[in-house]
Amino acid sequence: MTATRVRKRARPNAMLVTGLVGLTALFVLAVVAPWIWGDRADELGPSVHLGSSGEHWLGTDALGRDLFARTLVATRLTLELAALATAIASIAGTVLGTLIWVSGPRVRAVGLRVVDVMISYPAVILALTIAAILDPGPKACVIAIGVAGCPSFARLTANLAASVAGRDFVATARLLGVPSLRLMRRHILPNIAEPLLVLVSVSFAHSLMALSGLSFLGLGVQLPDYDWGQLLSTGLQSLYTNPAEAVGPAVAIVLAGLSAGFVGDGLAARAASTSGNSAAVKPGSRKASASAPVATGTDHSVPDDAVLVVSDLRVRRPDGTALVDGVTFHIGAAEIVGVVGESGSGKSLTAMAAARLLPGGLRAEAHALELRNPGAEPLALAAPGRDGAAVRRRLATEIGIVYQDPSASFNPALRLGGQLTETLRVHLGVSRREARERAVEQLEFVRIVDPEARLRAYPHELSGGMRQRAMIASALLTRPRLIIADEPTTALDVTVQAEVLALLRAANRRDGTAMLFISHDIGVVTDLCDRVLVMYAGRLVEELTAAELRDGHARHPYTKALLAATPRLEPDGEADGKLDAETGDGLLAAIPGRPPQPDERPAGCAFADRCAAVLPVCRDTPPPVRVLAPGRTVACHLPETGAPVPVQAGPKAGRHDAAVEAVG
């Protein structure tokens, strides 16, 4: 498995390899051919205009010289000239682009327009003009082609520089006082080198073609020197008598052009794949994914009225690495369950698996992952394969979803009305008019002023907070059994966030809608939720009531560390001194290290490396899941985390008498 992943990461790009092999072969040929075949190529023979034969593979020319040898020998001059022209184009073009970019906004505007005009003028015609002005000959051609290629380099350099220049590190360097040219050399050119390199190889192919064309027209290389274009030109004169004469140089030009083109395309493909996947998969051990059968079968008291039941959910990447690793929980009717965790903890994937909206390539497997409804069969959410219309309708109407970014969750080209009422009309067959009435009712509920007018508005006409409220209205429209909200307030201002949280709470009270609420913010979760699941590195580490979390009664070292690392508004904090956010010296209790990558998770507890209270057993044995009370579990080896829950008058902590210890 590891081997395949390594190969995938460093997978040689077929196009690039073909091109590089071709160019290397041509280069070797260019170096050695004149030494090996040089004499033979100039040797006059008795038989002229000979066809292809065993002795002369491509026949002979008008002076009886062997054409195969001449074609091979011509490689050096042809490639030299093409390389020279490319060098002129790329160096002069990049310098020109750099100068345009660094020389201030006015010069830049004019310079870019001039370059645009130059590009629109065909390069070969420009070259012809230059070659005609200068004396015909290789020097003139190389200069002409080089100059003709400059504008495309200049434009690419200037445009790419402009795109990189908008990034923070360039702005910072400017603030530091880094001079323009140094800025270009150190910050901009290295970051735009890849596309420039692609252009170099493409430009090489172009130069080769253009030079061969000019030589063919008699403007380029003059006799007695010869390149492929010149050979082609002489070969063409006797095309009817001896067609083989033209074949050699023609094939050579095509092969060289193709090789350079392949290198260009290959480089471009590679650049695209590396920039798109900067967090490349590290070849590493992945002991974890196969192990940790932790919470299997711990069916800790799922109530009859549960809306969502998740048991031993795993979400895997195509290579088998588990991103979510054995998560078990349920959501009761009218219950709001929060999931907290840092980025990469798998909280969003858990929610998306429950909504059946996993991104492509990831697959979910679970003992049970189902949406329950007293009036119908449980709807299995993990089953792969195609869904029937009935399943799709239930998914669309029984689960409502609120996403993080309200500006990205509506289609900007359509009016809100159509988007809000779509589910009603498509899946429930509600008439357009009634759907509209219901939409207005929900928009009023989320306190959007003048809902009739808003239905005719486009998403961009609403503020961010209003869009998120409209999103909630849209999720509520079908009266779903469950709302899944994935960081719905993260992009909002704190006052708007408070409004949105109040709305979600009101919806929960009005309709009895169960909610799965994902957030990285412990404060938000304790405000809104009844019960909180804490996730770390793809696993559930603790499950507790929001009241317990708020009062600092967390048991798991990670939850405690997270609480201690979060600054509080009141420095005096809670009465419980040891869980106070601020230790005496005004420092927060930072958690050392960082969470393990999904493919580097250890066999034991994933938090062991950062845990202050780590025991030897933590490192290689998965922690047992202890059920302290219904809805109160902790996955930890430390003995004190398994102590009975103290009596308290929380609304949800009624039955705490039987502190069950269930080791998975």
Residues near other proteins (CB under 8 A) are 167-179, 182, 186-187, 190-191, 278, 342-343, 464, 493-498, 501, 520-528, 546, 550, 561-562, 565-571, 582, 586-591, 594
CB nearer other proteins, residue 69 or residue 491: 491
CB nearer other proteins, residue 409 or residue 545: 545
Structural contact between residues 515 and 308, judged by C-beta atoms closer than 8 angstroms: no
Q: How far apart are the C-alpha atoms of 619 and 521, rounded to whole Å?
A: 28
The residues, ordered by sequence, that sit 6+ positions from 39 with a Cβ below 8 Å of its Cβ are none
Structural contact between residues 520 and 497, judged by C-beta atoms closer than 8 angstroms: no
Q: Tell me whether strands 531-536 and 336-340 are parallel, antiparallel or unpaired.
A: parallel
Cis peptide leading into residue 224 (ω within 30°): yes
Least Å from the CB of residue 266 to other proteins: 21
Least Å from the CB of residue 630 to other proteins: 21
Residue 38 token pair: 């040089």
Least Å from the CB of residue 65 to other proteins: 51
DSSP H or E run through 347: helix 347-354
CB nearer other proteins, residue 325 or residue 530: 530
CB nearer other proteins, residue 377 or residue 570: 570
| φ, ψ at 283 (rounded to 5°) | -70, 110
Structural contact between residues 246 and 236, judged by C-beta atoms closer than 8 angstroms: yes
CB nearer other proteins, residue 67 or residue 546: 546
CB nearer other proteins, residue 170 or residue 209: 170
CB nearer other proteins, residue 8 or residue 182: 182
CB nearer other proteins, residue 42 or residue 194: 194
Least Å from the CB of residue 565 to other proteins: 4
Least Å from the CB of residue 289 to other proteins: 23
The residues, ordered by sequence, that sit 6+ positions from 547 with a Cβ below 8 Å of its Cβ are 648, 650, 651, 652, 653
Least Å from the CB of residue 398 to other proteins: 27
Q: Tell me whether strands 322-331 and 308-316 are parallel, antiparallel or unpaired.
A: antiparallel
CB nearer other proteins, residue 585 or residue 640: 585
Least Å from the CB of residue 594 to other proteins: 5
Least Å from the CB of residue 590 to other proteins: 4
Least Å from the CB of residue 598 to other proteins: 15
Runs of H (alpha helix) within 401-512: 416-428, 432-445, 451-455, 464-476, 494-511
CB nearer other proteins, residue 520 or residue 656: 520
The residues, ordered by sequence, that sit 6+ positions from 130 with a Cβ below 8 Å of its Cβ are 140, 143, 144, 147, 148
Least Å from the CB of residue 479 to other proteins: 25
Cα 658 to Cα 70, 541, 577, 662, distances in angstroms: 95, 21, 29, 12
Write the Ramachandran bin of 646: left for phi over 0, alpha for psi from -120 to 50, otherwise beta.
beta
| φ, ψ at 599 (rounded to 5°) | -90, 5
CB nearer other proteins, residue 236 or residue 501: 501
**DSSP type of residue 653:** -
User: What residues are paired with 544 via a beta bridge?
Assistant: 532
Least Å from the CB of residue 571 to other proteins: 7
CB nearer other proteins, residue 113 or residue 167: 167
CA dihedral (61, 66, 72, 76) positive or negative = negative
Q: Tell me whether strands 625-629 and 368-373 are parallel, antiparallel or unpaired.
A: unpaired
CB nearer other proteins, residue 412 or residue 586: 586
Q: What is the CA radius of gyration of the chain?
A: 35
Least Å from the CB of residue 375 to other proteins: 32
Q: Tell me whether strands 514-519 and 336-340 are parallel, antiparallel or unpaired.
A: parallel
- Closest-CA residue to 310 (of 289, 296, 292): 296
Q: How far apart are the C-alpha atoms of 338 and 457, rounded to whole Å?
A: 33
Least Å from the CB of residue 79 to other proteins: 31
